[in-house]
Structure 1
Amino acid sequence: MVSPEAQVVRSLKHHLLEHGLRASRVLHLLVDADPSYVHSPFAHELEPMTRLTLEGARPDILCSVAQPEGVLVAGIEVKASVKDWVKGMGQAHRYRSGVHHAYLALPSPASDLHRSALTMARDNGVGILARDDKRWVEVAPPADPTPLPRVVSQASALLEGTPVARRLQLNHPLNYLAATFLAEDKPTSQSLLEALADRWSDLSSDGARRHAAVGASTLGLLDHDWEPTVEGRAVAELLAALQFKPGTGYEKRKQLAQAHAPLAAVARFVLVRQPAVRLIHRTLADNGGSLTLPELAVAAGQEDPALATALFLADPSKDLKPGLRGPDFNPSTVFKLKQNLWHAGLLDTKAHGSSGKQAGVYRPDDDHWSLPQRTPRTTP
C-alpha cells in the first residue's frame, strides 16, 4: 500500500524544486529517510534521502533557499490529512529553533483550514503550506528567524571587514604572502619574526616584520599565535607550487600583476575574500568601473554605511557625505590598502601621488579608483 504521506511529500518536493519557496529558488532539498518513504514505489523520486534529525525532531523535508538576505534553511512537516494539523503544528514548532523557517504542509485547499490553525501558526511562528488546484501556496508566513540573517551578515561583515580596512600597515601583498609561507616552511624551533629576518630581506625592521605577521593574521592566513590557518596552509602550498622563493629579490616597485602574474593571482584570491575589498569592487562595478575617492566613499556608504565609514574615514564617528576633504580620509585605505589592491591587479590605478604623506596635502578629488579593463580571452 502506498503511503499517502509519501505521495504528499513527492508532490511538495516537485513543487519546491520547480517553483521555489517564498518566491526564491530552492538550492538543495533532502527528504527524511522514513521507512514509508524509502519503501514507496516512487522512492527514487524522493532521493536524496537521509535521517533528518534536528535536536530529536525529524522534519519530512529540509531545504536551502536562496533569499535576498542570504541562503536560509527551511524545515517542513508534512501531513497526509488536514485533520492532523494539530499534531503537525506541534512537530514543526519543535524544530523551529534548528531552522530559519519552519512549515506545516497540508494537502488541502486553504479554504479547508480551520481558523484556529492559522491563529496557532501565527502564535507559534510556523508557516503553513496548502495545496490549491494541485499547486502549493503559502497561506501563513513563518516567523522571521532570530537573529535576522541579514543583520548577522552585516555584523559579520563589520567584524571581518573593519580590521582589513584599518590594520594593514604594509603596502605590498607579497609581505603578507611571505609571512604565511614562512610560517609553514620555517623550522619549529624558529619564530616567525626570526624566519622573516633570515629569509625575507624586504622588511628591514622588527616592526615591519611584525606588521607582516599581523596583516597575514588579519587576512585570515595566520591564527593569533601566527601559525597557519587551514586557508594559510593552502596559500603556502600554492606559493610552493609556484616556486616562490623568499630569498629571491622580487621587483616590488613594479606592479605585481605585471612582474609576477601567478603570485598576483594568489594575492587576489586572498584579498577578494575580505568584505571591505568586495564592497569596493561592487561599488565600482555598479558605477561604471571608475570613481574618485569621495564618490566611491559616498556610494559605498549607501550600500553599507557602517563598513564604508570604517573603511574610508579617519574618524569613523563622522558621516559619509559629499564634500569630504583630504584629512577626512583613512590614510591606511587611501595608500596602503589601495596599493595592495593595485599590486594584486584588482585596481588599475595605484595610490595617488599626494597620498601617504601629510593629510593636509592629500587631494582626494584627483584620486581615481578604477577596475581593470577585462581583455577577452583568445582560444588557440
Structure 2
Amino acid sequence: MPSPEARVVRSLKRHLLANGLRRSRVLHLLVDAHPSYVHSPFARELEPMTRLTLEGARPDILCSVAQPEGILVAGIEVKASDRDWVKGLGQAHRYRAGVHHAYLALPTSPSDVHRSALSMARDTGVGILALDAQQWVEVAPPADPTPLPRAVSQASAILEGVPVARSLQLNHPLNYLAATFLAAHLAPSQSLLTALAQQWSDLGSEGARRHAATGASTLGLLDLDGRPTLEGQAVADLLDALQFKPTARYEKRKRLLEAHEAFAAVARFVLIRQPAVRLIHRTLADRGGELTLPKLAVEAGREDPALATALFLADPSGELKPGLRGPDFNPSTVFKLKQNLWHAGLLATKAHGSSGKKATVYRPEEDLWALPRGV
C-alpha cells in the first residue's frame, strides 16, 4: 500500500506542473527522497527525487516559479490529513528562511481548513494550499520574502551595470579580449601589463594598457588579482579555438564585425551580459529598433531610472528629461561604449562624428542608436 502522503504529493505535483503556483509557471520541481516516496508505486511519477534538507527540515516538494518579482523558490510541506496541520505548519516555518515562500498542503476542502490553522499561518508567514475537488487552491498566501527579489535584482543590476556604463576607457572590444587572453597565458613571473606591452602593440602607453586590464575586470573577465574568472577563462578558450594571436596585426580601423566576424561574436557574448548593454538593447527593441540618443535616454529611464541615469548622464545626480544637450551626456557612453557595441555588432550605428570631442560640440539630437536589422 502506498503511503497516503505519496498520493497527495503525486496529486499536488501534477497540479503544479499543469497549473503553476500563484498563477505563475513552475520551472523546476523536486520531490524529497523520503523512503515512503522512493518505494511507493508512484515513485516513477514522483521523479526527479533527491534528499531535500533546508534549515534542518525536509520539505516534501521544492520548486522554482517564474513570477513578476523574478525566479522564486517555494518549499511545500505535504500532510495526508488536515488533523496534522499544527505539525505541518511548524515544519514549513522551520525552513521558511531557506525559501522565498513556504507552504503547507492539506488534502481537504478549503472550507474545512481549521480557522486556527489560517490564523497560525498568517502569524508564521506560511501559506496554505487546499484541495478543492481535483484542483489545489491557495487559501492563505505566504508572507512576502525579505528582501523582495525584485528589489535585490534591481540593486544587483545597478551594481553590475554602472561600472560598465561609466568606466570603459577604450573604444574597441578587442583590447579587452586581448587582455583576457594574455592573462590566461601568463608566464609564472610575468605581469599582465608586461605581457600587453610585449605582445599587444595596439596599446602604446602604460595608461592604455591599464585601461585594457581594468576594462576586462569591469566586464567580469578578470578577478581583482588580474587572473581570468570562470567567464574569462571561457573567453580565452574561445579565442584559442579561433586561433587568436596577440602578436598579429589585426585590422582595427575597420569594424570588428566585418574584419574578424568570429572575434566580434565573442565580444557580443561578453557585452550582452552587461546590465547597461541589456537596458540599451531592450529599450531599442521595444520601441521600433532605433531612437535618437535623447529619446533613448528618456525611454530607458522609464524602465530603470537609476541605471539609465548613470549610463547616460555626465552628472548622475541629474534628471533624464526631454531637452538634454550635449554637455548633459556621459562621454564614455556616447563614444566609447557605443563604439564597442558597434564593433561587436550589437548596434548598427557607430559613434556620432561629434562625440569623443568637446561636450559643447556634441549633437545628441543627431546621434541615432539603432539595432541591426532582424534583431
Task: Report the residue type matching 2:169 in the other structure.
Answer: Q
Task: Report the residue type matching 1:307 in the other structure.
Answer: L
Counterpart in 2 of 1:229?
Answer: 229
How far, CA to CA, are the matches of 2:5 and 2:233 in structure 1? Answer: 49
How far, CA to CA, are the matches of 2:162 and 2:174 in structure 1? Answer: 21
Counterpart in 1 of 2:219?
Answer: 219
Counterpart in 2 of 1:297?
Answer: 297
Q: State the 1:366 CA deviation.
A: 0.1
Counterpart in 2 of 1:268?
Answer: 268
Per-residue CA deviation, residues 83-121 of structure 1 (Å, 9 max, x unaligned), is: 111110000000000000000000001100111211111
Counterpart in 2 of 1:45?
Answer: 45
1:173 aligns with 2:155: no
Q: State the 1:173 CA deviation.
A: 0.1
Q: State the 1:374 CA deviation.
A: 2.4
How far, CA to CA, are the matches of 2:79 and 2:185 in structure 1? Answer: 58
1:312 aligns with 2:312: yes
Task: Report the residue type matching 2:269 in the other structure.
Answer: F
Counterpart in 1 of 2:356?
Answer: 356
Counterpart in 1 of 2:160?
Answer: 160
Per-residue CA deviation, residues 279-338 of structure 1 (Å, 9 max, x unaligned), is: 000000000000000000000000000000000000010111111110000000000000
Q: State the 1:249 CA deviation.
A: 1.0
Q: State the 1:189 CA deviation.
A: 1.1
Counterpart in 2 of 1:253?
Answer: 253
Q: State the 1:163 CA deviation.
A: 0.2
**TM-score of the superposed pair, with normalisation by structure 1:** 0.98
Task: Report the residue type matching 2:302 in the other structure.
Answer: Q
How far, CA to CA, are the matches of 1:189 and 1:39 in structure 2? Answer: 59
Counterpart in 1 of 2:345?
Answer: 345
Runs (4+) of structure 1 exceeding 3 A deviation are none
CA RMSD of aligned residues (A): 0.8
How far, CA to CA, are the matches of 1:245 and 1:38 in structure 2? Answer: 55
Q: State the 1:81 CA deviation.
A: 0.6
Map residues 1-380 of structure 1 onto 2, 5 A cutoff.
1-374=1-374
Q: Is the 8 A contact 2:55 2:97 kept in 1?
A: no
Task: Report the residue type matching 1:96 in the other structure.
Answer: R
Per-residue CA deviation, residues 107-158 of structure 1 (Å, 9 max, x unaligned), is: 0011001112111111111000000011100111101111100000000001
Task: Report the residue type matching 1:167 in the other structure.
Answer: S
How far, CA to CA, are the matches of 1:70 and 1:42 in structure 2? Answer: 32
How far, CA to CA, are the matches of 1:353 and 1:268 in structure 2? Answer: 23
Q: State the 1:187 CA deviation.
A: 1.1
SS at match of 1:185: coil
Q: State the 1:186 CA deviation.
A: 2.3
Task: Report the residue type matching 1:61 in the other structure.
Answer: I
Q: Percent same amino acid among aligned pairs?
A: 81
How far, CA to CA, are the matches of 1:92 and 1:51 in structure 2? Answer: 16
Q: 319-328 or 366-375: which moved more? A: 366-375
* Unmatched tracts of structure 2, length 5 or more: none
How far, CA to CA, are the matches of 1:175 and 1:69 in structure 2? Answer: 37
Aligned residues: 375
SS at match of 1:66: strand
How far, CA to CA, are the matches of 1:341 and 1:82 in structure 2? Answer: 59
How far, CA to CA, are the matches of 2:84 and 2:135 in structure 1? Answer: 20
How far, CA to CA, are the matches of 1:2 and 1:195 in structure 2? Answer: 67
**TM-score of the superposed pair, with normalisation by structure 2:** 0.99
How far, CA to CA, are the matches of 2:55 and 2:115 in structure 1? Answer: 30
Q: Is the 8 A contact 2:33 2:51 kept in 1?
A: yes
SS at match of 1:41: coil
Per-residue CA deviation, residues 27-70 of structure 1 (Å, 9 max, x unaligned), is: 11111111111111111111111110112100000001111221
Task: Report the residue type matching 1:345 in the other structure.
Answer: G
Per-residue CA deviation, residues 137-195 of structure 1 (Å, 9 max, x unaligned), is: 01111011111000000000011000000010000000000000011112121110000
Counterpart in 2 of 1:378?
Answer: none
Task: Report the residue type matching 2:153 in the other structure.
Answer: S
SS at match of 1:373: coil
Q: Is the 8 A contact 2:31 2:47 kept in 1?
A: yes
